[in-house]
């Protein structure tokens, strides 16, 4: 018997939320689960986040901040943080990932970029954790600890470690040079829902921080789950830059187009190092191997951009020669 599910059903009865059916809506890369309740013609989503493993308070807090900023997020209808249950509005069934293709991408990404600027311009960042040196560094060490050593079994030489330390330091410096804004931290095609109005719906925002301007941008445009030609991505990135300037998020003199693309490229390297480490950890620790197939695409972004920067070229060559062949 699923004791958490029974506990959840009892909570729904206690708050007077009827339902004809309850079925899994989605699961993410954490211990949270989501169920869809059907009651006649209406639906709701209920989040199950075991309190000993997940703190639901940030989800509720960030949902309120994003609603205030005017973007589409699921409304919090009821909550019991002690038990780890939250009743939410339903943003539907269609992920951006399932809707994106060559015909739809311009419109869907246009909506997503406008929502991103709205978050950055309007979401309150007071009290949010900073995306600081410690966090940026800790994330990148997931790459060396979980992917290189545990997943692939690589023996790192002193020269390898020096190469990684040099790259990590440069990536941190570049991230901290950028304007610091609201950062969703996982703004991509599996966390955006296609909506008929006020598109997109934004989910999985509970890990938000205050951090580098281009972080969410590169999460969206260099998505771990779907890839687009680099020239097209750069065009979108510069379109966002113009939108950010018009919205007051970015001062015109803060970065030339060339400077901005450098921020964007380097931020992507930091994110993608983190992401592949998380994918390896999900496989080894959490027995979720489904993300392993996304590692080559994600590392491919690093191999693609690294040759353009002298400081990143050794990292790109290391990944090309030592890491990618081990992925099979």
Question: Do 175 and 122 share a domain, yes or no?
Answer: yes
Residues 107 and 65 in one domain: no
What is the per-residue DSSP string for 112-171?
HHHHHHHHHHHS--TTPPB--HHHHHHHHHHIIIIIIIIIS-----HHHHHHHHHHHHHH
pLDDT at 28: 60
Cis, bond preceding 200 (omega within 30 deg of 0): yes
Expressed in angstroms, the distance from the first to the final Cα of the chain is 39
A 10 A CB-CB count for 293 gives 11
Q: 289 near 239, Cβ under 8 Å?
A: no
**Which of 30, 65, 88 is the last residue before a domain boundary?**
88
Written as six digits, the tokens of 274 are 């983190």
> What's the rounded Cα separation, in Å, for the pair 166 and 162?
6
The predicted pLDDT at position 284 comes to 97
Distance CA 50, CA 58 (A): 14
CATH number of the domain residue 306 falls in: 3.90.1200.10
Collapse the DSSP code of 30 into the 3-class scheme (helix H, G, I; strand E, B; otherwise coil) and give the result: coil
From 29, 60, 88, give the residue that closes a domain.
88
Q: What are phi and psi of 86, to 5 degrees?
A: -140, 125
DSSP state of 186: -
Cβ-contact 180, 120 below 8 angstroms: no
Instruction: Verify that 84 and 133 share a domain, yes or no.
Output: no
pLDDT recorded at residue 55:
92
DSSP 8-state class, residue 275 = H
191 and 244: one domain? yes
174 & 197 share domain: yes
pLDDT at 182: 98
| Same domain, residue pair 26 and 117 | no
- Assess whether 220 and 307 both reside in one domain: yes
Within this chain, do residues 24 and 144 fall inside the same structural domain, yes or no? no
* Residue from 264, 226, 205, 214 nearest 104 by CA: 226
pLDDT digits (tens), the chain, 328 positions:
689 999 999 999 999 999 999 999 876 656 889 999 998 889 999 999 999 998 999 999 999 999 999 999 999 999 999 999 999 999 999 999 999 999 999 999 999 999 999 999 999 999 999 999 999 999 999 999 999 999 999 999 999 999 999 999 999 999 999 999 999 999 999 999 999 999 999 999 999 999 999 999 999 999 999 999 999 999 999 999 999 999 999 999 999 999 999 999 999 999 999 999 999 999 999 999 999 999 999 999 999 999 999 999 999 999 999 999 999 7
Q: Residue 198 gets which letter from DSSP? A: S
Read off the tokens for 114: 């406008």
Same domain for 248 and 148? yes
Say what the pLDDT of residue 163 is: 98
Q: Which residue has the tokens 């609201």?
A: 182
| 248, 192: one domain | yes
- Which pLDDT score is estimated for 224? 97
Q: At what angle do helices 105-122 and 230-246 cross, to 10 degrees?
A: 40
Among the candidates 44, 64, 88, a domain finishes at 88
Find the radius of gyration of the CA atoms of the chain.
Answer: 20
Give the Cα separation of 319 and 317 in Å (integer). 5
- Contact criterion met (CB below 8 Å) for 23 and 34: no
State residue 2's pLDDT score.
86
Full domain range(s) for residue 206: 96-327
Helix/strand/coil for 79: strand
**Residues 74-97: b if buried by 16+ CB within 10 A, e if exposed:** bebebbeeebbbbbbebbeeebbe
CATH of residue 66: 3.30.200.20
């Amino acid at each position: 018997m699923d004791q958490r599910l029974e506990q959840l059903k009892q909570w729904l009865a206690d708050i007077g939320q009827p339902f004809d059916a309850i079925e899994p809506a989605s699961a993410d890369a954490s211990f949270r689960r989501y169920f869809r309740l059907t009651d006649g013609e209406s639906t709701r989503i209920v989040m199950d986040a075991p309190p000993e493993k997940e703190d639901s308070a940030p989800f509720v807090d960030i949902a309120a901040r994003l609603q205030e900023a005017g973007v589409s997020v699921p409304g919090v209808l009821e909550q019991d943080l002690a038990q780890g249950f939250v009743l939410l509005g339903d943003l539907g069934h269609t992920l951006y990932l399932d809707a994106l293709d060559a015909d739809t991408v311009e419109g869907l990404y246009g909506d997503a970029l406008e929502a991103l600027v709205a978050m950055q311009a309007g979401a309150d960042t007071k009290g949010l954790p900073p995306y600081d040196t410690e966090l940026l560094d800790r994330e990148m060490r997931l790459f060396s600890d979980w992917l290189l050593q545990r997943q692939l079994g690589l023996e790192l030489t002193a020269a390898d470690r020096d190469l990684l330390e040099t790259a990590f330091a440069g990536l941190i410096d570049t991230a901290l040079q950028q304007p610091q804004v609201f950062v969703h931290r996982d703004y991509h095609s599996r966390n955006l829902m296609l909506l008929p109005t006020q598109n997109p719906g934004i989910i999985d925002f509970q890990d938000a921080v205050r951090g580098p301007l281009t972080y969410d941008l590169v999460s969206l445009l260099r998505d771990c789950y779907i890839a687009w030609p680099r020239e097209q991505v750069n065009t979108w990135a510069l379109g966002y830059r113009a939108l950010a300037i018009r919205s007051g998020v970015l001062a015109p003199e803060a970065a030339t187009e060339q400077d901005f693309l450098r921020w964007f490229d380097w931020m992507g390297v930091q994110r993608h190092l983190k992401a592949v480490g998380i994918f390896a950890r999900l496989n080894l620790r959490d027995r979720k191997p489904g993300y392993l197939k996304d590692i080559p695409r994600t590392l491919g972004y690093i191999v693609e951009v690294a040759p353009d920067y002298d400081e990143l070229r050794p990292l790109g060559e290391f990944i090309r020669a030592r890491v990618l062949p081990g992925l099979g």
